[in-house]
Amino acid sequence: MVAGEASGDLLAGLLLGAMRKRWPGLHASGIGGPRMAAQGFEAWWPHHKLSVHGFGWDVLLRYREIVGIRRQLLARLGRDKPALFIGVDAPDFNLHLEENLRRQGVKTVHFVCPSVWAWRPERLDVIRRSVDHMLCIFPFEPALLAQHGIAATYVGHPLAQVIPFQSDRAAARQSLGLAPGDDVVALLPGSRKSEVRYLALRFFEAAALVQKDLPGVKFVVPAVPGLQSAIEAAAQRSGLGSRIQIVSGQSHTVLAACDVTLIASGTATLEAALFKRPMVIAYRMGALSWRIMQRKKLQAWVGLPNILCQEFVVPELLQDAATPLALAAGVLDWLHAKHQQPEKIQALEARFLALHQLLQRDTARLATEAIEGVLRA
């Protein structure tokens, strides 16, 4: 198995738990993180080695190391062929690896379909060559893949099982030291170093503008532990400093506690939707990466809640549009709606509840059954 980033480690950990119940003698190894290790996974390299983003310097500086890891992994798996290889997300790394392993007779499963429906449709040819079976987390994906001769199973999104239909806002606030009547904004500037570099200071500058309009607003940042010092430094530069509450991890508690979140585009936006929280989605990246992304983009939306609902149910402010003033205005719109237009919030919550119900399946069981079918084929 190979999982990149914290989200891949979470998905792989859930899958490993179910696989170990089905096959008690299972031995799993490769690249992974702590959630996989808790299921007895043997990590030859830690998952954060694959955590890069974009098309610019972040990737170029790490390219040699990543290619070296993939070469070593391919040689090792070529010598000691496993019964199955499972790539969890990280498509840039895993699809190339899967294609080579499949040529050598190793069966391959990929968990989380690359977003071929959003951008880079040329990946469909690569997927067909690389993957015996795709495990899909969104319901519309198997039919799309079937049109291109790719076997796939919809297994639901694991987060839809982890997050309850109705979260306990009061308990979450109590655990964070917040009052029941506070206006609370969660700031989530991303889980990657590059995201924090491009977004954190802008988020904090936006927060300062919101606080100018509504002085009683409380801001909470669930910082990825490895990036907490960078986030704290950005908070100091913004002038907010101690007026922002920065906690280590606890993103689900913070999302449960908040009224609105200002959030980086990515999996966290889906988590916010499953918590039924209004949000303003933002993103910035290097100029070169942005130009390439724009050329390959297939849909009008970037944020997962908007893509899944097929309309702008929440605002997106991307690249040059993600100014502190615009971000603050988006947050204030939701906060004013909380007090003056509660029906606007209620309508959004209803949309997100329907989305939650659509995505909730017994993911680990369905994925394990699909994997068993590949092994028997």
Interval 225-238 mean pLDDT: 88
Cα dist. 142→63, 183, 267, 307 in Å? 32, 41, 20, 16
Contact 146, 152 (CB under 8 A): yes
Q: Which two tokens stand for residue 210?
A: 């919101």
Distance CA 77, CA 375 (A): 17
Q: Is the pLDDT of residue 56 over 60?
A: no
pLDDT per residue over 121-138, tens digit each? 788 999 999 999 999 999
User: What value, to the nearest 5°, has the Cα angle with vertex 131 and ends 371 and 74?
Assistant: 100
63 pLDDT tier (thresholds 50, 70, 90): confident
| Pairing mode, strands 108-111 and 29-32 | unpaired
Interval 144-164 mean pLDDT: 93
290 pLDDT tier (thresholds 50, 70, 90): low
Residue 55, pLDDT score: 47
Interval 13-26 mean pLDDT: 94
Residue 158, pLDDT score: 84
294 pLDDT tier (thresholds 50, 70, 90): low
> Facing residues of 280 across strands?
262
Strands (E), the chain: 2-3, 29-32, 42-46, 85-88, 108-111, 133-136, 152-154, 184-188, 218-223, 244-248, 260-264, 279-283, 316-318
All domains of the chain in start order, with CATH? 2-156+361-376 (3.40.50.2000), 169-359 (3.40.50.2000)
Number of C-beta neighbours around residue 185 at 10 A:
28
User: What value, to the nearest 5°, has the Cα angle with vertex 312 and ends 306 and 314?
Assistant: 80
Q: Is the pLDDT of residue 225 over 90?
A: no
pTM of the model as a whole: 0.82
Q: Is the pLDDT of residue 141 over 80?
A: yes
DSSP H or E run through 154: strand 152-154
Interval 348-375 mean pLDDT: 96
> Could you tell me which of 255, 269, 263 has the C-alpha nearest to residue 308?
269
> Could you tell me which of 262, 257, 256, 258 has the C-alpha nearest to residue 274?
256
Distance CA 306, CA 105 (A): 40
Contact 191, 268 (CB under 8 A): yes
Distance CA 18, CA 39 (A): 10
Q: Which two tokens stand for residue 194?
A: 């590059």
> Could you tell me which of 283, 350, 352, 289 has the C-alpha nearest to residue 316?
283
289 pLDDT tier (thresholds 50, 70, 90): low
Mean pLDDT across the chain: 91
Q: Is the pLDDT of residue 299 over 70?
A: no
Residue 15, pLDDT score: 92
Residue 296, pLDDT score: 60
Contact 332, 177 (CB under 8 A): no
Interval 343-363 mean pLDDT: 97
> What's the length of the chain?
377
Percent of the chain at pLDDT above 90? 71
Q: Which two tokens stand for residue 204?
A: 């904090």
Helix (H, G, I), strand (E, B) or coil at 136: strand
pLDDT per residue over 67-90, tens digit each? 889 999 999 999 999 999 999 999
> 40: left (phi > 0), else alpha (psi -120 to 50), else beta?
left
Interval 310-318 mean pLDDT: 94
Share of the chain residues as helix, strand and coil, in percent rounded to the nearest 5: 55, 15, 30
Q: Is the pLDDT of residue 203 over 80?
A: yes
Residue 53, pLDDT score: 52
Interval 177-184 mean pLDDT: 96
Percent of the chain at pLDDT above 70? 93
Residue 172, pLDDT score: 98
